[in-house]
Amino acid sequence: MKMHSPPHPGEVLKELCLEPLELSVTRAAEALGVSRKTLSAILNGRAGISPEMALRLSQAFGTSAESWLNQQMQYDLWVTEQTVGKLDVEKLSAA
Amino acid sequence: MKMHSPPHPGEVLKELCLEPLELSVTRAAEALGVSRKTLSAILNGRAGISPEMALRLSQAFGTSAESWLNQQMQYDLWVTEQTVGKLDVEKLSAA
DNA sequence: CCTGATTGTAACCTATTACGTTACAGGTTA
DNA sequence: TAACCTGTAACGTAATAGGTTACAATCAGG
CATH number at B46 reads 1.10.260.40
Give the C-alpha separation, B47 to B36, whole Å: 13
pLDDT at residue A5, as a whole number: 87
The answer to the question of residue B68 being in a domain is yes
Does the CB of B42 fall within 7 Å of any strand D atom?
Answer: yes
Does the CB of A35 fall within 7 Å of any strand D atom?
Answer: no
Host domain of residue A85: 9-94
A70, A6 Cβ separation under 8 angstroms: no
The answer to the question of residue B2 being in a domain is no
Q: What angle do CA B86, B81, B41 make, to 5 degrees?
A: 140
DSSP state of B8: P
- pLDDT category at A4 given cuts 50, 70, 90 is confident
Give residue-wise pLDDT tens across range A9-65: 999 999 999 999 999 999 999 999 999 999 999 999 999 999 999 999 999 999 999
Which ranges of A14-64 does DSSP label H, i.e. alpha helix?
A: 25-32, 36-43, 51-61
- pLDDT category at B93 given cuts 50, 70, 90 is confident
pLDDT at residue B5, as a whole number: 86
The answer to the question of residue A74 being in a domain is yes
The answer to the question of residue A3 being in a domain is no
Give residue-wise pLDDT tens across range B52-69: 999 999 999 999 999 999
The answer to the question of residue A23 being in a domain is yes
pLDDT at residue A1, as a whole number: 67
pLDDT at residue A94, as a whole number: 61
Question: Domain total for chain B?
Answer: 1
The answer to the question of residue A1 being in a domain is no
CA-based nearest residue in chain A for residue B73:
A69
The answer to the question of residue B1 being in a domain is no
Judged by CB atoms closer than 8 Å, whether chains meet at B31 and A79 is answered as: no
pLDDT at residue B81, as a whole number: 97
Residue B94 has pLDDT above 70, yes or no: no
pLDDT at residue A93, as a whole number: 82
